[in-house]
Amino acid sequence: MPTKPSSSISFLKILSAFSPVLIWAGVIFLLSSQRTLPGLQLNTLDFIAKKTAHIVEYCILFFLLHRALFLIFPQHKKYIWLIAFVLCLLYAISDEWHQSFVNGRTASARDVGFDMLGVSLAFLGIYRYI
């Protein structure tokens, strides 16, 4: 019986690498599907809390996506950050588009900016710039 080449990627390896990414993307999707999110009494504090949530959500998404891509494609480590960055950007845009269809919610380019701030912070942390 012939053996598989060592460079082949098994389905289980892909599943274990990308399951956390898909679960976290699902959490983001579910939060975006809510008509209203709990808020704080002061508008300033509410703004800070919600924008911080955007930053943290996408910081985690970038970490998970970067990890998954590195586990599956370690030979392409030079480009993994860029692929993860672009995928997070596309997901942030699609998430805002999705919100435009949810009653009580609106799409916002500013929120994509906060999402990408989280991605950028994750990038800086992974590559030890901060």
Q: In terms of pTM, does the model score above 0.85?
A: yes
SS3 3: coil
For the record, the structure tokens of 20 come out as 């956390």
On the question of pLDDT at 7 being above 90, the answer is no
Q: How far apart are CA 104 and CA 73, in angstroms?
A: 41
On the question of pLDDT at 130 being above 70, the answer is yes
One-letter identity of residue 66:
H
pLDDT tens column, 89-110? 999 999 999 999 999 889 999 9
Average pLDDT value over all residues in the chain: 92
Contact 97, 105 (CB under 8 A): no
Nearest CA to 25 out of 1, 52, 55, 57 is that of 57
pLDDT tens column, 16-47? 999 999 999 999 999 999 887 777 677 888 88
